[in-house]
Amino acid sequence: MPQLEFGDFAPQLIWLAITFILLYIAMSRVALPRIGHVLEERRTKIADDLDSADRLKREAEEALTAYEAALAQARADAHAIAAQTRDKLAAESAKERSTLEEKLEAQLAEAEARIAVVRDEAMNNVRTVAADVTAELVTKLTGQAADQAAIDTAVADALSSRS
């Protein structure tokens, strides 16, 4: 069994020591710090990127909230303005209507008064004409002048019974 050749032990041990110690120095001084540094750098970079992504997301959310608030405010303002305008217009039209109605009523009353005056005049004319006609008729039929007082009474009676 070659493994038990004691004469071969020394060279194997010496070269194992040489290679292993050199490998250890290379690993601990160069390779491992370098790999560790790369991994650490990447970890920090990823963490930083995640942080900034988080921050940007939060900012976007804030902007969205602000936008929604502004939108709601604008909508409320629009509602208020619309309601105000509607009220103003309603008040104005109500006022206009009432002045118009007053004017119309005044005109109506005036017209009625005029009608009454005209009718009274007409009635008086009718009375005079009726009295004249009656006197004329009595004179023509009887040949003598009629009693003016009696005629007035008769005409008044007739007119009052008519109206």
Partner 1 sequence: MSSPDHGAAAAAEGGFHIDPMHQFEISRIIPLEIGGIDASFTNSALWMVIVAVTATLFLTLSVGASKSRALVPSRAQLVSEMAYEFIAGIMRDIVGPSGQKFFPIIFTLFIFILLCNLFGMLPYAFTPTSHIIVTFALASVVFIGVTLVGIFKHGFKFVKLFIPSGVPVWLLPLISVIEVISYLSRPISLSVRLFANMLAGHTMLKVFAGFIVSLGFIGGGFLPFFFAVALTGLEVLVAFLQAYVFAVLSCIYLNDALHLHDH
Number of Cβ within 10 Å of residue 126's Cβ equals 14
Pick the stretch among 38-46, 94-102, 104-112, 144-152 that binds partner 1 (CB under 8 A): 38-46
80 binds partner 1 per the rule CB under 8 A: no
45/103 with CB nearer partner 1: 45
For 94, the token pair is 């109500």
146: left (phi over 0), alpha (psi -120 to 50) or beta: beta
116 binds partner 1 per the rule CB under 8 A: no
Pick the stretch among 23-31, 51-59, 99-107, 147-155 that binds partner 1 (CB under 8 A): 23-31
14 binds partner 1 per the rule CB under 8 A: yes
| C-alpha dihedral, 84 to 88 to 89 to 95, nearest 10° | 160
78 binds partner 1 per the rule CB under 8 A: no
User: Distance between CA 11 and CA 7 in Å, rounded?
Assistant: 8
Least Å distance, CB 29 to partner 1, is 9
User: Distance between CA 138 and CA 135 in Å, rounded?
Assistant: 5
Number of Cβ within 10 Å of residue 61's Cβ equals 10
Pick the stretch among 7-15, 76-84, 86-94, 155-163 that binds partner 1 (CB under 8 A): 7-15
32 binds partner 1 per the rule CB under 8 A: yes
Least Å distance, CB 42 to partner 1, is 6
The site for partner 1 (CB under 8 A) is made up of 1-5, 7-17, 19-20, 22-24, 26-28, 30-32, 34-39, 41-42, 45
